[in-house]
């Protein structure tokens, strides 16, 4: 009887070790999926909020691409390491009151007078910034935002008239280089009568550099032919093209490279990224005591 009881106990222990590990694994996968789903919903809402705000400020059409860099749960990673997670979303919002373009010039309150703004619009219909900047495009990663440059192109409007409009460039390639340094250490200190004190420490430094490559679609569109398709005529960064009204123009690359550094946010107990935290080292430490028997 004693041998049978011992065999049953051993079998129960093996089953608990196997099925318990599987249950923990399934729970961890569900937790990671839920965390990523929550991040996706937050990023979608944030992209729309930013697009709506920019469209209201610019009084025009805004396309906003927003990406969120953080670190999510990693069951197989080291203590405090996590794993990089990138979630992105885009939103397009049209907010136009009256004629396209800002309702007033921030440098002069005279443009708040309707007749002054109308005269300015008439005289700047071919080369000013107020009417031709009715279409905007932004790219943002965490707290770093870039407004994409605009170039003139010829289109045919709904009345069949050929006009010059300003259109933003598009991003066709993103180059990301991640420099991650992680180290961890576990220290065990045994003291007589007090058990074993275990101390686990880790240090993480993560820097993400993103380079954007852009191109400009110079194809002429005809608004009077709603069912016709127009193939794009891309002009890549560094290439030159000639506009009928503006002369020769060169498509320029995005001026600044996006660099983000990881840092610990104690208010939400998460790792976030910011342009002001490049080179920051995240230090984690935890201790626990086990009985010395």
pLDDT tens digits, 124-146: 444 444 445 568 999 999 888 99
Residue 106 is predicted with a pLDDT of 42
Residue 10 host element (H or E): helix 2-58
Beta bridge partners of 135: 61
For 26, the token pair is: 């399934």
**Number of structural domains, the chain?**
1
Please determine, for residue 246, whether its predicted confidence score (pLDDT) is greater than 70. no
Contact 253, 215 (CB under 8 A): no
pLDDT tens digits, 162-191: 888 888 888 988 888 999 999 999 998 887
Question: Residue 82: phi, psi to the nearest 5?
Answer: 65, -165
Residue 135 is predicted with a pLDDT of 84
Name every residue whose Cβ is closer than 8 Å to that of residue 142 and which is 6 or more positions away in sequence.
Answer: 67, 68, 69, 260, 272, 273, 274, 275
For 243, the token pair is: 């506009």
pLDDT tens digits, 188-232: 888 777 788 889 999 999 999 998 899 888 888 777 776 667 788
Please determine, for residue 20, whether its predicted confidence score (pLDDT) is greater than 60. yes
Buried b / exposed e along 29-67 (16+ C-beta atoms within 10 A): eeebeeeeeebeeebbebbbebbeebbeebbbbbbbbbb
> 24 or 4: whose pLDDT is higher?
24
> In which domain, by residue range, is 177 found?
2-290
Q: What is the pTM of this model?
A: 0.73
CA angle 171, 255, 88 (to 5 degrees): 40
> 104 or 183: whose pLDDT is higher?
183
Measured distance CA(180)–CA(80) in Å, rounded: 13
> 87 or 114: whose pLDDT is higher?
87
Measured distance CA(235)–CA(263) in Å, rounded: 39
Contact 192, 127 (CB under 8 A): no
Q: Give the count of alpha carbons within 13 A of 154, CB side only.
A: 11
Question: Residue 147: phi, psi to the nearest 5?
Answer: -95, 125
4 backbone φψ class: left, alpha, beta (φ>0; ψ -120 to 50)? alpha
Contact 126, 120 (CB under 8 A): no
């Amino acid at each position: 009887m004693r041998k049978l009881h011992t065999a049953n106990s051993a079998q129960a222990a093996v089953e608990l070790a196997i099925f318990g590990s599987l249950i923990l694994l399934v729970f961890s996968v569900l937790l990671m999926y839920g965390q990523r789903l929550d991040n996706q919903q937050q990023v979608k809402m944030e992209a729309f909020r930013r697009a709506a705000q920019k469209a209201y400020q610019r009084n025009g059409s805004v396309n906003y691409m927003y990406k969120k860099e953080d670190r999510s749960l990693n069951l197989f990673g080291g203590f405090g390491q996590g794993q990089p997670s990138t979630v992105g979303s885009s939103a397009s919002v049209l907010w136009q009151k009256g004629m396209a373009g800002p309702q007033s010039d921030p440098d002069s309150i005279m443009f708040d007078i309707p007749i002054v703004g109308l005269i300015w619009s008439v005289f700047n219909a071919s080369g000013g910034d107020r009417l031709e900047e009715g279409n905007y495009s932004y790219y943002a990663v965490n707290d770093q935002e870039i407004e994409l440059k605009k170039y003139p192109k010829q289109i045919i409007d709904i009345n069949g008239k050929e006009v010059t409009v300003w259109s933003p460039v598009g991003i066709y390639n993103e180059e990301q280089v991640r420099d991650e340094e992680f180290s961890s250490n576990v220290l065990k200190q045994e003291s007589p009568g007090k058990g074993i004190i275990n101390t686990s420490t880790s240090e993480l430094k993560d820097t993400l550099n993103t380079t954007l490559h852009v191109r400009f679609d110079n194809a002429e569109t005809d608004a009077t032919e709603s069912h016709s398709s127009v193939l794009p005529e891309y002009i890549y960064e560094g290439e030159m093209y000639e506009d009928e009204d503006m002369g020769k123009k060169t498509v320029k690359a995005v001026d600044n490279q996006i660099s983000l550094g990881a840092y610990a946010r104690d208010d939400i107990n998460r790792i976030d990224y910011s342009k002001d935290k490049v080179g920051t080292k995240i230090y984690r430490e935890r201790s626990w005591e086990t009985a010395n028997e």
